Amino acid sequence: MNMERNLPVKSLVIGLVLLIAGLGVGFYAGHSQSLTSTSTELSTATLTSTSTATLIGVSTTTLTDLSTTTIYTQTETTSTVGTNTVSSCSANCSQASVGTVISTAQQTLTIGGSTTIYPVTQAAIAAFERQYPGIIVQDAQGGGAAGMKGVTTGALDIGAASSLSAVISAQISDESLVPPVQLVATEIGGTGVVVIENGLGAGGFLSDGANVCQAISQGALALIFAQTSDASGYFTVSAGGCAAGILSTAGVTANVAAGTAGAIQAISRSDLPSGTEDTFSAYIGVSDAKGLSGVQEAGNTGVLAQAQKALGTNNPGGSIGFVDYGFATGAALGLTSGNADGVAIPQVYTTTVPVTVTLAVAKGASASSVGAAIFKALKQVATNTSSYPDTGGSLVSTFYYVTNGNPTPAEADFINFIATPSAVSFFTSQGYFSFVEFGGS
């Protein structure tokens, strides 16, 4: 699990169900109510294994309010369907037991939410419907917030969220609902958030007029996206600000007027809460409760499209934003080159200035080094360590399918399907990584 999993968990009834390549063992964090008649309370918050499986990604999960939070495991049985092992809950699960849809009558499964996860779901639908001809999948996007709201109101069967914090926020906001909502989140994959630029410097990087900035500091990003006097987020790079090839806080002049010579415009998200923006704002240490500064666009596609635009009279110095890796390369939009798509990707660093800039990608150049760094970091999240962008902080984001209560048979069929080795290509084709790939280390 990534660093954001250490957020305070107060009065939550969130199921953290890790269906790891068919192991189907569930752990739930919640109030003192029993999830099943055979639930067993654990005395600590460190979850390492059951008698049959090790749960990768939860062994170091920290629940900071243990006075009101109790961890339960529920007795489960397994059944084999074809070559996939799926789990079935005990008698008192809040929805139908996990299993295979036996009925030949067609039913509709509605999925929606995160714009990041949307292309993964889209890629998987045709193959899933061939394997399960009795189920028709309808998929929509609109942001993680829309996905969580859809699940809690019953408009969606499965909501998609690209950060655990988005799930936690939804659970907290829905605590007063009657009957109460119990969100069950299944980790399915992950990616990393990258900064994108369209500047005057060579390769599309930002520039001080004489030098190119191929790297940017966490502090500079915080200053840029926390601007308050001008919500449009215009700033300039001071003379000599890129002299060392790196843009730090000292090189940023914030809160300038639109159209100022060399003005650069920040781009953030309008569809909040967003898992992508949650990950980015947590890294830079700036709250996005009311949105980050800059022109606000909907979804990864909106931010990318705005950044790709030709420089205008308001932002003659360029633009800067953030998207998930798969969008920066265009893979999530159908491109297959693996190159930076109409934008540059600067290397981000937290506090220690990199000796060499190895993760800066010019427009049209291969972004494979960034993808490799993200994948390495995803394999480390189970130990709560970070390596992307560096050891000082994390820009890694994990993906979840979320249901209201334990999955119904149809919901479980889709979630189990997406968690099999044969579904890995649905992630990699979008520039993402399946939990099957990184969850076993």
CA distance 343 to 426: 24
Determine the pLDDT at residue 176: 66
* pLDDT tens-digit map of 113-172: 999 999 999 999 999 999 999 999 999 988 888 899 999 999 999 999 998 888 888 887
Buried b (16+ CB within 10 A) or exposed e, 294-325: bbbbebbbbbbebbbeebeeebbbbbbbbbbb
**Rounded Cα gap, residues 197 and 219, in angstroms:** 17
The domain that contains 209 carries what CATH number? 3.40.190
Residue 158 lies in a domain: no
How far apart (Å, rounded) are the C-alpha atoms in residues 289 and 272? Answer: 8
* pLDDT (tens digit per residue) in 399-416: 999 999 999 999 999 999
- Report pTM: 0.75
* DSSP tag of 298: S
Asked, for residue 90, whether it belongs to a domain, the answer is: no
- 157 falls within a domain: no
C-alpha dihedral sign at 59, 64, 67, 72: negative
Helix (H, G, I), strand (E, B) or coil at 132: coil
| CA distances to 226, 243, 252, 391 from 214, in Å | 22, 11, 15, 19
Separation between Cα atoms, residue 283 and residue 208, nearest integer Å? 25
Q: Are 42 and 28 in contact (CB under 8 A)?
A: no
Domain count, the chain: 1
Task: Classify 177 as helix, strand or coil.
Answer: coil
- Number of helical H runs and strand E runs in the chain: 11, 24
Q: Is residue 215 part of a domain?
A: yes
Residues of the chain with pLDDT under 70: 1-105, 174-178, 228-231, 440-441
Residue 109 placed within a domain: no
Give a yes or no: residue 96 inside a domain.
no
Residue 427 within any structural domain of the chain = no
Is 207 part of any domain? yes
Domain span including residue 332:
192-396
**Partner residues linked to 136 by β-bridges:** 108
